[in-house]
Amino acid sequence: MSARKIRSALISVYHKDGLDEIVQELHRQGVQIYSTGGTQKFIAQLDIPVTAVEDITSYPSILDGRVKTLHPAVFGGILARREPDHLDQLKEYKLPEIDLVIVDLYPFEETVATTNEESAIIEKIDIGGISLIRAAAKNYKDVVVVPSRAEYALFLEILKEKEGTLDLTDRREMARRAFKVSSNYDIAIFNYFNEGTTDIAFKYSIHRSDILRYGENPHQSGVFFGDFDAVFDKLNGKDISYNNLVDIDAAVQIMRELRIGDPAFAILKHTNTCGLAVRSTLKEAWDAALECDNVSAFGGIFICNTSVDLATAEAINELFYEVLIAPDFDEDALALLKTKKKRILLKLKDYAIGSRSFRSLLNGVVEQDTDMRQETIADLDTVTEVAPTPEQVSDLLFASIAVKHLKSNAIALVKNKQLIGMGCGQPSRVDALKQAINKAKAFGFDLDGAVMASDAFFPFPDCVEIADQQGIKAVIQPGGSIKDKDSIAYCDGHGMAMVMTGHRHFKH
């Protein structure tokens, strides 16, 4: 018989919000309710009859509540198949059948997020609750399981609609959800204990997911596993696509490095920064960023580090873009920007960059530390006879941020905290430099006095020679080539300044 009437229920939950409606509906349908501890008190306060689990186990809650439901009288009633042999054993040992199990686990992940006190964290590892969930899910052919408060609303809807008689499809779906809850819970606990060990294991549990407008191309479907709403308030526009999301991530990563200080604006296209500038006002920063490459900016991703005012919004609104990201929007600016209904407007709540990053490769996954390093003045080792001026140092540090967020091989040319040329994704560093120079000239920039950043060392002096011929007089690079001395010698022979950081920023 696939459809089974719920006649008895065991309820033991941490979060009780939303439970009252379920309990009242169960009572209306004449269901016998068993419960424990705080949940039992909650139900009793609703003037609904409830039987303490101790009355069927003959044992009180012991060990500071660590052991309440772990007893054959409970698990026998859950795990018994509704077949003669098992039912006869229940009768022999006077154990009740339990048709419904409602559990909401101790908040382990929330506790880890809010405290470092190990004793408090350990006490939030649920034992009885997780066992109840697994037992009920295993016996889904006869038992219904509600494994978390996230399923309260769904279960209540089914309970009312079907008057407590759920079919096999309903019960199996709830079991599927139960094992999702239990597996996520176990992974969170494992990761807590595994942190700082040498045991390498790829185990992640992400509870939220959003269906994307499409994948990398329209014929591909896509899903984002993560909590987009924790990072952004979406204020306007169409649904997010895979490519939008990849570009948004790249935009947040670069602006994270410029979030403090004068107004900054970045324009990205296909994850690469094609416009970047810092100025005294946001409108000036926008104008300078757009000057870098006003062609590639069409259909791009825009991001800034301060509230968008009306003057900036009016300028932005003249250009087609996919996404605009800002920590805030002035009221009149937002009203104007929202007149373009499909344009995506995101209010950035948190520069949420995970300390670990991963991507799929071949038949597996690679995981690594996220490149969180940002060079400071203290990291700059002047290796040439000529030292950079204070103005050049400022531009060199700005250029090191710009080049870090371009695809390798990458070169960034900067002048007065404005990206005036960029070359990226090239098979050679010389090609990247030539691309950067050509772009700068195409948009009318004078390279005399500019600085150059490279995302990796120069194996030959050719790049500094080409840069010198264009009037570039200061260079920042990680160093580390066995032929570093050749590039240094060229700089010394031509009055150029070079600093090395000792850290490479490849981006593939």
321-354 pLDDT, tens per residue?
999 999 999 999 999 999 999 999 999 998 878 7
- What CATH number is given to the structural domain containing 405? 3.40.140.20
For residues 394 and 490, state if they share a domain: yes
118 and 246 in a single domain? The answer is: no
b/e code 158-174 from CB counts within 10 Å (16+ = b): bbeeeebebeeebbeeb
Q: Which of 141, 270, 338, 503 is catalytic?
A: 270
Catalytic residue among 5, 138, 338, 340: 138
Output the furthest CA–CA distance in the chain (Å, rounded).
Answer: 98
Could you tell me the CA-to-CA distances from 483 to 147, 461, 464 in Å, in that order? 62, 8, 13
The answer to the question of residue 215 being in a domain is no
Rounded Cα distance, 238 and 323, in Å: 10
Q: Is residue 213 part of a domain?
A: no
Peptide bond into 139 cis (omega under 30): no
Q: Are residues 10 and 157 in the same domain?
A: yes
DSSP secondary structure, 49-70, as one string:
--EETHHHHS---BTTTTBSS-
Q: Do 147 and 51 share a domain, yes or no? A: yes
Residues 172 and 265 in one domain: no
Looking at the structure, do residues 132 and 252 belong to the same domain, yes or no? no
- What CA–CA distance (Å, rounded) separates 453 from 436? 11
Cα angle: 313, vertex 319, 325; to 5 degrees: 50
Task: Give the count of beta carbons closer than 10 Å to the beta carbon of residue 378.
Answer: 6
Q: Are residues 141 and 12 in the same domain?
A: yes
Q: Do the domain assignments include residue 183?
A: yes
Q: Which helix (H) or strand (E) holds 109?
A: helix 108-114
417 within domain boundaries: yes
Cα distance between residue 78 and residue 72, in whole Å: 9
If residue 179 lies in a helix (H) or strand (E), which one and from where to where?
Answer: helix 168-194
Token digits for 206?
A: 């992400």
**Among 499, 448, 506, which residue's Cα sits nearest to residue 476?**
499
Rounded to whole angstroms, the Cα distance separating 154 from 66 reads 29
CA distances from 191 to 65, 115, 121, 188, 224 (A): 25, 16, 13, 5, 22
Domain membership of residue 357 (yes or no) is no
Would you give the distance in Å from CA 272 to the centre of its chain?
Answer: 20
> Does residue 44 sit in the same domain as residue 169?
yes
pLDDT digits (tens, 9 = 90+) for 289-327: 999 999 999 999 999 999 999 999 999 999 999 999 999
Tell me which residue of 376, 361, 329, 353 sits closest to 250, measured CA to CA. Answer: 353
The answer to whether residues 289 and 419 belong to one domain is no
Closest CA to 69 of 369, 460, 390, 79: 79
Chosen domain end from 140, 173, 194? 194
Q: How many domains does the chain have?
A: 3
CATH code for position 95: 3.40.50.1380
415 is catalytic: no
User: Exposed, middle or buried, 29 (CB in 10 Å: 0-12/13-18/19+)?
Assistant: middle
Residue where a domain terminates, one of 330, 348, 366: 348
Phi-psi category of 148—alpha, beta or left, where left has phi over 0 and alpha has psi -120 to 50? beta
For residue 179, the enclosing domain spans: 4-194
pLDDT digits (tens, 9 = 90+) for 178-192: 999 999 999 999 988
Q: Of 348, 365, 393, which residue sits at a domain end?
A: 348
DSSP track, 322-374 = EEEEES-B-HHHHHHHTTSTTSEEEEE------SEEEEEETTEEEEEE-----
pLDDT value at residue 69: 76
Angle (CA) 433 470 295, round 5°: 55
Residues 418 and 321 reside in one and the same domain: no
410 inside domain = yes
Give me the pLDDT at residue 156, please. Answer: 94
pLDDT score recorded for residue 1: 52
pTM confidence score: 0.80
Which two three-digit tokens encode residue 483?
Answer: 């032929």
With a cut of 50, which residues of the chain have pLDDT below it?
A: none
Phi, psi of 365 (to 5 degrees): -135, 140
CB atoms within 10 A of CB 251: 26
Return the structure tokens found at 407.
Answer: 């695809």
Give yes or no: 439 in active site.
no
> Is residue 394 domain-shared with residue 333, that is, in the same domain?
no
